[in-house]
Amino acid sequence: MPELPEVETIRKQLHSKLIGKQWQGRKIVNIRRRAKLLLIDFSDKSSLVFHLKLTGQLLFNGVPGKYTRAVFNFDDGSNLVFNDARKFGWSKHIQNSQAIEKPFGIDALEITLTELKAVFVKKKRTKIKTVLMDQKQLAGIGNIYSDEILFSAKVRPDRLAGTINSQETSKILASVKAILKKAIERRGSSIEYYLDALGQKGDFVSLHRIYHKKQCGKCGGRVERLKINGRTAHYCPKCQQ
């Protein structure tokens, strides 16, 4: 957290606010997202890169506070405030962003069925929730959306990727695209610290059906939890058999 929908929400908002502004004599020409990274590109080919990790916030015209780690002031008097309560996030000004972008796999919004099948074959002995969260394979999905995606596709999170058949793969892909797009429309999920670039909470959390739920959003049954590769997976034993 924040995951792809949250970072993409911030990217879209900052794109409308920052293009054309100058920071330390450099003109902003683009705002991009790569997986969970946010990149502000300048006319001199350098970039400001942010990884918000667990508790990072990027607030346009924000007011610095207790958790502020950096403030970026622009030529017109506006600013961008980077907050991070737990200090896991980071920001870097680098000349060439290719090296920092290279380790990430195919963006979850762009992956095709053929590509997803290839990922499942490659990681056939790995549990499916872990595969969906592997940023080197499928970039952008984290703990929240992997739970929601697998619930929507009716697949248990502890299934090995190699046991996922063609029909199930198609369902997972459809769920990836539908849930991430809907989450972007609703400006992400505000759990604890996440705010969008305008300081507002995202309301996709109101549409969560399994993540951190006690009762299944479909059948009303008890939601079970599993520890998978150090992360907590939420699932419904009845709906995800």
Long-range contacts of 203-209 (CB under 8 A, 24+ apart): 204/5, 207/182, 208/144, 208/148, 209/148, 209/151, 209/152
The predicted-structure confidence for 48-91, as pLDDT tens digits, reads as follows 999 999 999 999 999 999 999 999 999 999 999 999 999 999 99
Last residue of a domain, one of 62, 81, 101: 101
Number of domains forming the structure of the chain: 2
- 91 and 115 fall within a common domain: no
Q: Which of 2, 8, 157, 209 is catalytic?
A: 2
The predicted-structure confidence for 99-115, as pLDDT tens digits, reads as follows 999 999 999 999 999 99
Residue with tokens 């992360």: 231
Sheet hosting strand 90-94, strand order edge to edge: 22-23, 26-34, 37-42, 47-51, 90-94
Q: Which of 34, 53, 218, 231 is catalytic?
A: 231
Q: Which of 3, 6, 8, 148 is catalytic?
A: 3
Query: pLDDT at residue 121 above 90?
Result: yes
- 161 and 189 fall within a common domain: yes
CA distances from 141 to 82, 88, 107, 215 (A): 22, 18, 9, 23
- 26 and 57 fall within a common domain: yes
Instruction: Please confirm, yes or no, whether 237 is among the known catalytic residues.
Output: no
Name the pTM for this structure: 0.95
- 79 and 184 fall within a common domain: no
pLDDT (0 to 100) of residue 17 = 98
pLDDT (0 to 100) of residue 123 = 98
- 82 and 123 fall within a common domain: no
- 136 and 206 fall within a common domain: yes
Give the residue numbers spanning the domain of 208: 106-235
Instruction: Please confirm, yes or no, whether 231 is among the known catalytic residues.
Output: yes
Last residue of a domain, one of 101, 128, 158: 101
Long-range contacts of 203-206 (CB under 8 A, 24+ apart): 204/5
pLDDT (0 to 100) of residue 229 = 93
Query: pLDDT at residue 28 above 90?
Result: yes
> Would you say how long the chain is, in residues?
241
Last residue of a domain, one of 42, 74, 101: 101
Query: pLDDT at residue 1 above 80?
Result: no
- 28 and 77 fall within a common domain: yes
Element (H or E) spanning 129, and its range? helix 128-133
pLDDT (0 to 100) of residue 238 = 97
Query: pLDDT at residue 191 above 90?
Result: no
Instruction: Please confirm, yes or no, whether 5 is among the known catalytic residues.
Output: no
What is the chain's mean pLDDT, rounded?
A: 97
The predicted-structure confidence for 196-211, as pLDDT tens digits, reads as follows 999 999 999 999 999 9
The predicted-structure confidence for 213-224, as pLDDT tens digits, reads as follows 999 999 999 999
Residue 62, domain CATH? 3.20.190.10
Does residue 241 form part of some domain? Answer: no
The predicted-structure confidence for 225-241, as pLDDT tens digits, reads as follows 999 999 999 999 999 98
- 116 and 230 fall within a common domain: yes
Does residue 240 form part of some domain? Answer: no
- 210 and 121 fall within a common domain: yes
- 36 and 88 fall within a common domain: yes
Instruction: Please confirm, yes or no, whether 157 is among the known catalytic residues.
Output: no
- 73 and 136 fall within a common domain: no
Does residue 76 form part of some domain? Answer: yes
Query: pLDDT at residue 130 above 80?
Result: yes
The predicted-structure confidence for 136-188, as pLDDT tens digits, reads as follows 999 999 999 999 999 999 999 999 999 999 999 999 999 999 999 999 999 99
Q: Which of 36, 127, 171, 187 is catalytic?
A: 36
Query: pLDDT at residue 192 above 90?
Result: no
